[in-house]
Amino acid sequence: MSDQQYPMCQGPDPDPTPPIFEMPNGAVDCHAHIFGPESKYTFSPARGYTPPDASLESFLALHRTLGNIERAVLTQPSVYGTDNSCMLDAVEKSGGKFLAVVAVDANVSDKELEYLHARGARGARVNIVDKGGNPFDGMGAVQKFTERLKDLGWHLEVLIHVHEFEDLRATLNALSVDVSVGHLGYMRTDHGIEHPGFKEFLDLVRDGNTWVKLSGSYRITTLESTPYHDVTPIARALIEANEDRIIWGTDWPHPFLKGNMPNDGALTDQLADWAPEETVRRKILVDNAERLYGFNHV
């Protein structure tokens, strides 16, 4: 019963390959997670899956292989609910190189938000897709919450299916802070870039208040293995819509991925196809991330 309720997910490929292009100095991995050990960090009973341990040491080893990734933004996974301690402990161990996007609920105090800021939090996440990820009672409550984030300089990160989200542009533009959307908008590629919901998403990105993470391409592809050529039109359309609002993340350790586990080097290689120009890749990998999260320039 327990395994059915909290299914175990596979771990990442233990032998990542170097990417085909050279990472620019100061690159930022804007979306990743740290898990475990379970004996120290308890999973939420409201979770939808159980991940294997994914340590800070393994994460840093990945960055060494990918090259020049000097900083990262850890994002609170749904399996920990609003207990951010595993992630924030990893941020503390990074020596100032990591920041975090936390999960909180509407009852969080201003004092607690200030405490989280002091520990490296620079945004709050609302996960509307995964079980256990959304502690708010609808978007009205989220809107009210964002008013409290302005003085902190935070943004709101959302995990949504953009093609299914009603009044996407009006709703997200009405929030009091900038918004970051994960996994290229989380629309499967077989819907196509002409889907009305995706076209509205492109308009939203052009408006300039919304940022998009080029992460989790395996979550939207219809293909079984890399290279995910069907993701290329979506990624290129988003970059063309507003290259100053696009960031990148590994989504390591790729939690709850069903199907073939891709190699992190092959996933990173996609950037060379999505953004062939080195100057654009530098924006995506360095400059835009520094601006959104407030990293000091290297």
**Residue 110 among the catalytic residues:** no
The CA-based dihedral angle spanning residues 12, 17, 20, 25, taken in that order and rounded to the nearest 10 degrees = 80
- Looking at 13, 178, 251, 264, which residue is catalytic? 251
Active site members: 251
